[in-house]
Each structure stands twice: as structure tokens, then as C-alpha cells.
A and B are shown apart, each in its own frame.
Chain A
């Protein structure tokens, strides 16, 4: 219950109330969120497909990640900022919304998967940089791809349930 009180307090912040009461702020922020998330999902999928040994096979994993990941993080910062603003406008509604919770859990799992990849699996990248990565790396790539598909689906589902 205390969490729900916190959500209501967020909704009452002047900036959150301004978004909720404006006719065009919510759609404008939504456009910025969608623009950024297409780049996040597209670039993450590009790397995941390379890790799976399916796409971009002529490029080394380190070269691909080096040129793509800065764009992923830049776009993620934009998507998260506008996502947070959208969330604030109806915090209590989203907090209890099932698709929203599924989306947040999947984003947490994707973050964990990424930490495992960068912390453990990437250590011997030199041995599979130019070829097809070992099974454990392909599994991490597959998990990431599946999670991001669920994140998009759950995100879209939020709009139909709030």
C-alpha cells in the first residue's frame, strides 16, 4: 500500500500533472519514446543475431559492438527518460498494470543477462570474435532477443489495458 501512496505522490508532482493534463504532451513524449525504442530494440537485435551466429557474420563481434552499442545506450537514455515521464503522469495506474509489470521484469532480466554477458561470457571473446560464438554465448543472445520481443509486446499491451 505504501508503494501505491508513493505512486500517487509522483502523479501529483507538477511536471507529472502537467503531462496528464496536457492534450499533446503525452503523445509527443510517446513519439520520442517510440523513436528511441526502435533504435534500442533494433540495435540490440543486431548484436543478438550476431551472437547467435545468424546475422552480420562478416563483422567481428567486438567491431560490431564497438560501433553499435554507443547508439544503443544513447537511444536507451532517451527512451528511459521519456518512459519515466510517461509513467509519472499515471504512476499508480501503471504500477498495478500487469503488462507494465511484465515489461519491467523483462527489462530487469535483460539487464541481468547483459551483466552476465559482459562480466563472464565476453572474457574469451578473442577465441570466437570472428566466428560463430560458443553455445553459452548463443543462449545469452537468444534470451536477450526473446526478452526484447516480450518487452515490446508488453509495452504495446499497456496501451490497451490502461
Chain B
């Protein structure tokens, strides 16, 4: 079924037009990488703060208030550029096991970020009121950081698998 989708997509006018422009894939990938840089850096800054590795920085709730809207913005850019790349080379992405793992990891990372955000919305001190919450926050932070590593690794491996 996915094979059919790929065949249909790659036969579309849009896919052909994108594929015929040599500059298109590298240019869109560049925007994709810049958005990853923005998103990953903001997540790292927040999560190392949760883990207590950057004590001089403002408290989590202030970092999150500044960064989270931009995190979702960057995710939007990643989605749009990702869709453009998939339209251009459907088989390279949709049939690739590394791409599927990447999408799975992205879904988990989005879920963890939503949990972090929901906690902060309920109470700015949500992730620091008790040892249990601090532990949970730390686990989410560590999990998110590992997911970032996994997502970037899986993303790069799409070119090799």
C-alpha cells in the first residue's frame, strides 16, 4: 500500500518539478537542519536546566515560556520541509526503516514535550515541588535528550539505509 502511495506521489507534477530542480533538495534540507538546530538547542537548554546542569540560567518556567512557542514553530517548519522532501523522494523516506524509526521517536518526543508543558501550565513550580516530581521531570528531560540524539541519528541514517 505504501509502495502504491510512493509510486503515485513520485508521478505527480509537483514531485517531478521538485525533483528536476537540483537545488531543491539541498536547499530544503538546509532549512530542515537549521530548524533542527533551533529546536534541539532550545530543548537542550530547558532540559539541562531541569537536570541542574546550567545553574546560572533562569528557572525552567521562564525558559519554557520563552522557548516553547518557538519549539512548536520550529516543529511546524520541520513538518513542512519534511513533507516537501517526502513529496520529492517518496520512496527514499516512506519505505525507509530509519525514517519510520525517526517518526516514531518524533511522536514520543512531542508527547514528552506536551507533558512538560502541561505541567508548567498547571503550576510554574510543577516539576520542582516534590522529590517525586523532580525525579519525573528529570526522567522526561533525560528521555527527551536521548530522543533528540536518536532522531538526529535516524534522520542522518535515512541516507544510508
Which residues of A come within 8 Å of B, CB atoms? 27, 30-31, 34-35, 37-39, 41-43, 45-46, 55-56, 58-59, 63, 66-68, 71, 149, 152-153, 156-157, 159-160
Shortest distance in angstroms between A138's beta carbon and chain B's nearest beta carbon? 20
Q: How far is the CA of A31 from the CA of B36 in the complex (A)?
A: 13
Taking Cβ atoms with an 8 Å cutoff, the residues of B that contact A are: 22, 25-27, 29-30, 33-34, 36-42, 44-45, 48, 54, 56-58, 62, 66, 149, 152-153, 156-157, 159-160
State A42–B48 Cα separation when bound (angstroms). Answer: 15
Which applies to chain A's interface (DSSP): helix, strand, loop or mixed?
Answer: helix
Q: Say whether, besides A31-B156, A153-B30, A38 and B36 are in contact (CB < 8 Å).
A: yes
Establish whether residues A38 and B27, one from each chain, have CB atoms under 8 Å apart when the complex forms.
no
Q: List 27 A-B contacts (CB under 8 A).
A: A27-B160, A31-B152, A31-B153, A31-B157, A34-B33, A38-B36, A38-B40, A38-B152, A39-B44, A42-B39, A42-B40, A42-B41, A42-B42, A45-B38, A46-B45, A55-B66, A56-B66, A58-B66, A59-B58, A71-B48, A71-B54, A149-B34, A152-B33, A152-B37, A153-B26, A156-B30, A157-B30
Min CB gap A129→B, angstroms? 15
The minimal Cβ–Cβ distance linking B11 to chain A, given in whole angstroms, is 24
A37 to B58, CA, bound (A): 24
Contact B26 A160 (CB under 8 A): yes
B153 neighbours in A (Cβ, 8 Å): 31, 35
Q: How far is the CA of A45 from the CA of B35 in the complex (A)?
A: 11
Least CB distance from A109 to B in Å reads 18
Whether the Cβ atoms of B149 and A35 lie closer than 8 Å is: yes
Shortest beta-carbon distance from A150 to chain B in Å: 9
B26 touches A156 (CB 8 A): yes
